[in-house]
Structure 1
């Protein structure tokens, strides 16, 4: 069922999402602002954290990834994705009002005031801080290192063609966190894993950005979708190949077995499928391919866990 415009639903959210159908009406604008109606971003933020926890289990010989850490990363991913979107929308509300896909969001459409958004941001950051302080001391320090790139991200589209690279730094930070929480240090394995996540994120966010390229060009902001243009497919193939290669390097450095390498190969196959399917002129297909990356992330985690269990 398609919701009427008066419902306040966001244009690019599925009409069947739980926020628009079941959440109390007064909560809906704030839940939409935090993207609770579109959980894909929380999954994509979570998977590098989960990879890192599983890779640490591979390296340490543990029977399972640390379940407490995974639970913290899950809560933190939801809270910090919501905080990041709220902060980004506060910074970009004037731009979002000029873009067809985003002008129905709560801030540019007037459903939420900037003050209300700031209060939501403070609440979500408090949850994120509580999660961070529940981790071991070294992991807390590593987590604090993400503050600067997260703060800078919304401004990158105004000064560079590469906002996707800054997103790669931010969303890929979790690849360091699981290892740091287990070992109390960083090694080359999580650094390689962060590199894999970084390239993967540039790739899938380039696909996502192709939905907005005409509006972005009119507004005057940059993206890799505009920069790459008709060359997106071969460039995307390069980023995804680099991500799969660095994932394999991370598995090697952590002492992973054949099943972990099979996970890297399966990830590579999924990425190759995305490249083969891509049509940058089809916005709907771009969104579906972007969302499919949650499965790519899940595959890596599942194979790493299987490697741990079978050892």
Structure 2
């Protein structure tokens, strides 16, 4: 194994680079624990749906443990998904400046080692999933097909962000499946709103790589929208707020939840006003700020659930 201590280009100064044992660093980078923002973005729709489902049930007794299990599961499954992505994209990653320092193209781990690590992470995710009811287990397993095909979408469609939205928004269904044992209209509308949010923020993220993507033939909404990205963000972020609002209305959400949605909307509007697609570093910072946007919404939904249960 070579280059064990080498850092990934866009993930410097984190605990993996400075404190983790040298032997573990390539694996922690495969799991993106040096860049946990993606795990947070996968987790937040889970937390939204759990809070809404608890409010509908007027029972928050199971909410703390569900929040904790979702946290572990999101980090494990995002790590597994990223490891799969790195396995399938290893040749493309070697040709892109930002990604050529990832563990596989950099020679820090072999494909066989990466696959074994993928299986280990997936088993952690399965252990979490098996703590839930049978319907939730089946619902969670159903997401794996989307996760498996996502890395190939950038090769065949200009809209890979839509497929990412299907995968990263799956948690919007899981909270209802776990706590209510079913998926109704509020869950489906929340899922649609989350997909629109993912398309927006991942378009911002993809603007870091548009030049390299054009050279190697990789497609994305960032390349598709190009100079019209601001207008596209207005559409998709606007859809996200509207659809999530419809889900809250269908769920009978109280003032605290609506306040959370308002704060979420203001944050998305700030992103649109601030974004400069020609500044990759700024695109990355704004992309990462979506964790804060999602947490603002969750805070409002959590307070609403607590108030309705009380």
Matched, 1:160 2:148: no
TM-score by length of 2: 0.97
Q: Is the 8 A contact 1:168 1:198 kept in 2?
A: yes
Using the alignment, how far apart are the partners of 1:63 and 1:152 within structure 2?
A: 36
Question: Which sits farther off after the overlay, 268-277 or 64-73?
Answer: 64-73
Match of 1:12 in 2: 10
Instruction: Select the residue among 225, 234, 255 that pairs with 2:222.
Output: 225
SS of match in other structure, 2:23: coil
Match of 1:247 in 2: 244
The offset of 1:65, in angstroms, is: 6.2
The offset of 1:63, in angstroms, is: 3.9
Moved over 6 A (4+): none
Instruction: Select the residue among 150, 171, 175 that pairs with 2:172.
Output: 175
1:136-155 correspondence to structure 2 within 5 Å: 136-155=133-152
Match of 1:305 in 2: 302
Instruction: Select the residue among 124, 127, 130 that pairs with 1:130.
Output: 127
1:17-28 correspondence to structure 2 within 5 Å: 17-28=14-25
Using the alignment, how far apart are the partners of 1:167 and 1:232 within structure 2?
A: 18
The offset of 1:64, in angstroms, is: 5.7
Match of 2:187 in 1: 190
Match of 2:206 in 1: 209
The offset of 1:34, in angstroms, is: 1.0
SS of match in other structure, 1:7: coil
Deviations 1:38-95 (A, max 9, x none): 1111111100000000010121112466112111110001100100000000000000
Deviations 1:277-299 (A, max 9, x none): 01000000000000000001101
Using the alignment, how far apart are the partners of 1:276 and 1:41 within structure 2?
A: 23
Matched, 1:267 2:270: no
CA RMSD in angstroms, aligned pairs only: 1.1
1:47-196 correspondence to structure 2 within 5 Å: 47-63=44-60, 66-196=63-193
Structure 1 residue runs of 5 or longer lacking an equivalent are none
Q: Is the 8 A contact 1:258 1:307 kept in 2?
A: yes
Q: Is the 8 A contact 1:64 1:305 kept in 2?
A: no
The offset of 1:99, in angstroms, is: 0.2
Q: Is the 8 A contact 2:9 2:101 kept in 1?
A: yes
The offset of 1:306, in angstroms, is: 1.1
Q: Is the 8 A contact 2:176 2:187 kept in 1?
A: yes
TM-score by length of 1: 0.96
SS of match in other structure, 2:155: helix
Matched pairs, number: 306
Structure 2 residue runs of 5 or longer lacking an equivalent are none
